[in-house]
């Protein structure tokens, strides 16, 4: 074990991991985080806490992660290079670790253009791969990025994202290889709807043995309505929703679309479980956290392993 | 070259509202090439300002002059004979030219007539695009001649983000994904294996990180 991370323990013990997501509130309302925490309860191994997702200001991932930790959940601190330089990032990493947060996800972040502060300067002092290198150096060498020693270095289980559906497709495996070389421990992928393309990517991943060097959690999202399916297909950059999924939602009566979306999601999880090299799922039920227990149960992934 | 765009006319009028005699100074270098502040644009802006003042029943005397290079003290010196006769200067050069005029003529108000944009190249007639961010430590030798600092919206140094779609950046279908361009060129050069070499975190002291920069060439400096 490199860390005390529960997610690491679940994965290394050979269990199929389940992570989910919690978007912090847009205001000083900790009750909302606890509400989401209660919904997720013991149905997941760890919970991603987003960092100003879609470039909208929210309660900091750090603060919300502390609330989750206090509620007995295991937060995955998300951090983007968009909003902080390397000083601020390292400061927050040792701060978070001091609060018992030992798992994090290193991201570059959505462009400010998509959020409610399009006029903000994006920082991008380092990129996501240099970010992984920095957190690994802090953990394994006990040194800050600038080279000085850290007293009681933060032992973070290091995650990153991968999008097998973005272009150019042919370099997407090489991009993962770069994250592995930088020191990533686990990967959470973009939401998977196009299973064929994901399988093709996994084939490339296995060919290079990358699935043995990091844990790959396959991203899944339940679709609520046919409108959401169309929106993700047409409007979200880097999202690949095949027409047959849109058609299936469209063929379902409106009042049954939510259930159909959950059925599609459960089927997807079952198929992803069969793919060699997939170590778990990352369930992104955006503003639909209360459906997580149902999905996890239907997918046969409950109860979660008891690991402390 | 350094690219620029003329400011909105109302902003320029607002600057010079209190004055009657204005020296409008163009520059023969970059701003001429990008059609923002050369001799021709000086003439056009001069007429526009005079007409605007006339409409408000005020008179405006314009003196027009275009320097060879407004960022060079040697040429800025040429304005000596004109400067005393005017109330203020409006410069159509980039920010470097404006500041050079302000430095040389301490007691004369100087206003910019253009917004200096970026270091770029001409893509086609009438279109200029950013190419260099002046980071002070050129990566082009390892990124196949395409700069990810200036041309990737997230300044990513190690590959495309998850928003790259059909060769375009997630921020706009009008913007090329710098890493898609780099990848295509690495393929053309038969150097795709280079993609996997990690480019380490940048030392921004070479860029703006260490404060305003200066180049001193001992062999040339007097």
The answer to whether A66 and A99 have CB atoms below 8 angstroms apart is yes
A6-222+265-298 maps to which CATH number?
Answer: 3.20.20.220
pLDDT at A237: 78
Chain A residues near residue B201 by CB distance under 8 angstroms? 86, 125-126, 130, 133-134, 145
Q: pLDDT for A136-149, tens place per residue?
A: 999 999 999 999 99
Q: pLDDT for B164-201, tens place per residue?
A: 999 999 999 999 999 999 999 999 999 999 999 999 99
- Structure ipTM: 0.94
pLDDT at B116: 98
The alpha carbon of residue B20 is apart from the nearest alpha carbon of chain A, in Å, by 37
The answer to whether A110 and A78 have CB atoms below 8 angstroms apart is no
CB contact under 8 A, B196 and A126: no
Average pLDDT rounded to a whole number, residues A267-289: 96
The mean of the pLDDT values for chain B is 97
Higher-pLDDT residue of A287, A277: A277
The alpha carbon of residue B129 is apart from the nearest alpha carbon of chain A, in Å, by 19
Start-to-end C-alpha separation, chain B: 27
pLDDT at B94: 98
pLDDT at A235: 87
pLDDT category of residue A63 using cuts at 50, 70 and 90: very high
Average pLDDT rounded to a whole number, residues A183-194: 98
Chain A residues near residue B157 by CB distance under 8 angstroms? 127, 129-130
Chain A residues near residue B167 by CB distance under 8 angstroms? 167-168
The residue ranges of every structural domain in chain A are: 6-222+265-298
A/B interface, count of CB pairs below 8 Å: 105
pLDDT category of residue A233 using cuts at 50, 70 and 90: very high
Sheet of strand B127-132: strand arrangement: B2-6, B114-124, B127-132
Q: pLDDT for A210-231, tens place per residue?
A: 999 999 999 999 999 999 999 9
- Which residues of chain B fall below pLDDT 50? none
Name which of A175, A194, A240, A284 to mutate to probe chain B: the one with the most chain B Cβ atoms within 10 A of its Cβ: A175
Q: Which of B92, B45, B44 is nearest to B70 (CA)?
A: B92
Average pLDDT rounded to a whole number, residues A45-67: 97
The alpha carbon of residue B154 is apart from the nearest alpha carbon of chain A, in Å, by 6
Which chain A residue has the Cα nearest residue B157?
Answer: A127
Average pLDDT rounded to a whole number, residues A248-260: 96
pLDDT at A308: 64
> In DSSP terms, which residues pair with B6 in a beta bridge?
B114
Enter the DSSP assignment of B174. E
Average pLDDT rounded to a whole number, residues A53-65: 97
CB contact under 8 A, B162 and A182: no
Q: Is B95 on the interface with A (CB under 8 A)?
A: no
**3-state class (DSSP) for residue B159:** coil
**Topology annotation, domain B2-118:** Rossmann fold (3.40.50)
The residue ranges of every structural domain in chain B are: 2-118, 133-209
**Is pLDDT at A307 greater than 90 in this prediction?**
no
Return d(Cα A168, Cα B163) in angstroms, integer. 10
pLDDT at B84: 96
pLDDT category of residue A41 using cuts at 50, 70 and 90: confident
The mean of the pLDDT values for chain A is 96
If you write DSSP's letter for every residue of B14-73 in order, what string do you get? HHHTT-SEEEEEEESSHHHHTTSSSHHHHHHHHHHHHHHHHHTT---EEEEEEES-TTSH
Chain B residues near residue A170 by CB distance under 8 angstroms? 183
**Is pLDDT at A44 greater than 90 in this prediction?**
yes
Residues of chain A whose beta carbon is less than 8 angstroms from a beta carbon of chain B are 81-82, 86, 108-111, 113, 122, 124-130, 133-134, 145, 161-163, 165-168, 170-171, 174-175, 177-178, 181-182, 190, 237-238
Q: Is B99 on the interface with A (CB under 8 A)?
A: no
pLDDT at A293: 97
For tokens 């923002």, name the residue: B36
Chain B residues near residue A161 by CB distance under 8 angstroms? 162
């Amino acid at each position: 074990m490199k860390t005390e991370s529960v997610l690491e323990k679940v994965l290394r013990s050979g269990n199929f991991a389940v992570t989910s997501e919690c978007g912090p509130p847009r205001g000083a309302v900790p009750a909302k985080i606890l509400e989401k925490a209660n919904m997720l309860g013991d149905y997941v191994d760890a919970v991603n806490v987003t960092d100003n997702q879609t470039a909208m200001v929210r309660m900091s991932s750090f603060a919300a992660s502390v609330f989750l930790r206090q509620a007995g959940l295991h937060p995955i601190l998300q951090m983007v290079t968009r909003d902080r330089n390397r000083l601020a990032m390292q400061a927050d990493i040792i701060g978070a670790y001091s609060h018992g947060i030992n798992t994090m996800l290193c991201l570059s972040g959505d462009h400010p253009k998509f959020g409610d502060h399009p006029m903000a300067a994006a920082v991008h002092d380092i990129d996501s791969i240099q970010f992984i290198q920095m957190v690994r150096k802090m953990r394994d060498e006990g040194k800050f990025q600038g080279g000085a020693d850290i007293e009681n270095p933060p032992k973070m289980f290091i995650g990153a994202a991968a999008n097998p559906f973005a272009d150019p497709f042919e370099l997407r495996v090489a991009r993962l290889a770069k994250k592995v070389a930088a020191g990533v421990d686990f990967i959470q992928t973009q939401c998977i709807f196009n299973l064929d393309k994901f399988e093709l990517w996994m084939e490339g991943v296995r060919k290079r043995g990358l699935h043995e060097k990091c844990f790959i959690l396959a991203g899944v999202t339940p679709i609520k309505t046919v409108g959401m399916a169309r929106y993700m297909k047409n409007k979200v950059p880097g999202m690949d929703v095949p027409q047959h999924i849109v058609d299936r939602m469209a063929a379902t009566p409106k009042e049954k679309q939510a259930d159909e979306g959950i059925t599609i999601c459960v089927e997807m999880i079952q198929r992803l479980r069969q793919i060699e090299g997939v170590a778990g799922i990352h369930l992104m039920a955006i503003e639909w956290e209360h459906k997580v227990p149902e999905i996890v149960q239907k997918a046969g992934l409950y109860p979660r392993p008891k690991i402390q | 070259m350094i690219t620029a765009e003329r400011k909105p006319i109302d902003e320029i009028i607002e600057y010079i509202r209190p004055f009657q005699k204005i020296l409008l100074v163009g520059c023969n270098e970059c701003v001429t090439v990008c059609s923002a502040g050369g001799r021709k644009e000086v003439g056009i802006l001069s007429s526009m300002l005079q007409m605007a003042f006339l409409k408000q029943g005020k008179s405006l005397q314009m003196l027009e002059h275009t320097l060879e290079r407004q960022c060079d003290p040697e040429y800025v010196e040429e304005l000596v004979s004109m400067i005393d006769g005017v109330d203020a200067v409006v410069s159509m050069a980039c920010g470097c030219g404006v500041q050079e005029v302000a430095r040389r003529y301490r007691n004369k108000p100087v206003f910019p007539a253009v917004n200096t944009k970026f270091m770029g190249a001409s893509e086609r007639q009438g279109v200029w695009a950013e190419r260099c961010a002046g980071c002070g430590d050129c990566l082009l030798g390892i990124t196949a001649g395409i700069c990810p600092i200036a041309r990737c919206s997230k300044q990513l140094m190690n590959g495309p983000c998850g928003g790259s779609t059909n060769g375009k950046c997630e921020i706009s279908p009008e913007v090329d994904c710098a890493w898609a361009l780099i990848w295509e060129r690495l393929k053309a050069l038969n150097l795709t294996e280079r993609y996997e070499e990690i480019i380490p975190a940048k030392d921004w002291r070479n860029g703006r990180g260490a404060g305003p920069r200066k180049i001193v060439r001992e062999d040339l400096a007097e």
